[in-house]
Amino acid sequence: MPIHQRQTKRVAILGGARIPFCRQNTAYANQSLLELMSAAVKALVDRFGLQGQVLGDVALGGVFYHPAVWNIAREAVLASGLAPETPAIGNDRACATSLETCISIANKIAMGQIEVGIAGGAEALSDFAVFYRPGLSRRMVQSAQAKSLTHKLKAWKGLRLSDLKPATAPSVERTTGKTMGEHCEMMVKQWQISREEQDVIALRSHQNADQAYKRGFYKDLIFPHLGVERDNIVRADTSIEKLSKLKPSFDRSGTGTLTAGNSSPLTDGASAVLLSSEEWAKENNREILAYLTEYEVAAVDIQKEGLLMAPAYAVSRMIAREKTKLQDFDFYDIHEAFAGQVACTLKAWETEKFCKQNLKLSGALGSIDREKLNVVGGSVALGHPFGATGARMVASLAKLLQERGAGKGLLSICTGGGMGTVAILERP
């Protein structure tokens, strides 16, 4: 049937699975992106008994790929226990990568192209690629292609010691030369966010994550990998006093407020989500936790606007289209790249001038109930494997709605490059 004649279907979230998130260069120091991703997808396949089944599609992604690991989505499928006839595709939108993979699979389900699929993502920052510098790389190629010893030796003429120094993938914004943390420092200064407010958000992230573990919330979401059974970043014993003693990480001029305590750590990990049509779920006796009902993406000019402010725009457009209010949600899952980023976004929604001038609204969007914010922990406490965070949030938010029995959840992720991806999950 032609696309324009298709009737859209509701997209059901059936559940998720992930491996524990671990701080860079700890438990997964010797694991590749493919190994981590394969572990999460296999955990999902095992959880739902999908061994040998052919799914409509699998969308997986990551942000920093090692050159030795490619075609990650397809290779992870082949290692998962799914039927080898299951297709797969890779995806990348920086920190929102696995939310985008969920959206990709959801769109195919909604259009009736497929009935069931898996979305997810991973990051293996411990397996960071090291490259030869251009000067050395060119000489190696020229030497290999040379047909005589004279020409091989000639290729190495002019080689400098600096050419031998290894290089890694840049962690700065290409257009500005600044790291994400440096950009967020600029944001918190602009929005006048205090160090104390950032530390309070970070503390609640750890407290909520710890409480979620204690009540068993993550028992059917996190599956052991390499002997690790839980995220190794959550600090149940942290306090405002401890957080306040940490030194600034990005601005050491005396005015910096972002620290290792109120910023998400560099993290290894992987996560996956099972999505289907409502019909497939009923035919296969699968409980529907929630529905993915809406999403939006936005981008800002990072030369003029804060790098991580795009979600403020995306949420505004999305709830306007849904004809709902910011306060109409039962849960707010806002990615904590930095506690300061969360605070900036919340303050922007509360500021009438910003909402009128930038969001083109008649007034401020208003405040949210912070007791509903990141109630089972956020990225500061749980960690932030760039490619895995979105699927982690979708699975957790869907389970929260299932526990509540009904309601709506708002999910928001800021990304590098000045983008943001947001979504709404609902359980009628």
Catalytic positions are 95, 384, 414
CA dist list (Å): 59 to 3, 79, 107, 117, 191: 21, 15, 12, 8, 37
Which of 296, 251, 368 has the alpha carbon at shortest distance from 93? 296
Which of 374, 295, 370 has the alpha carbon at shortest distance from 327? 370
Q: Is there a contact between 21 and 382 (Cβ–Cβ < 8 Å)?
A: yes
Q: What is the b/e burial string over 327-366, where b = at least 16 CB atoms within 10 angstroms of the residue's CB?
A: eebbbbbbbbbbbbbbbbbbbbbebeebbeebbeeeebbe
Query: Which residues are CB-neighbours of 4 under 8 A, at least 6 positions away?
Result: none
Q: Is there a contact between 380 and 86 (Cβ–Cβ < 8 Å)?
A: no
**Side chain identity at 339, as an amino acid letter?**
A
Structure tokens at 318: 């999305």
Q: How many Cβ atoms from other residues are within 10 Å of residue 151's Cβ?
A: 12
Distance of CA 135 to the CA centre of its chain: 35
**Alpha-carbon gap, residue 143 to 271, rounded angstroms:** 43
Q: Is there a contact between 380 and 373 (Cβ–Cβ < 8 Å)?
A: no
Structure tokens at 191: 């929005």
Q: Is 324 exposed, middle or buried (0-12, 13-18, 19+ CB in 10 A)?
A: middle
Structure tokens at 13: 């979230």
CA dist list (Å): 194 to 4, 256, 276, 352: 51, 10, 43, 20
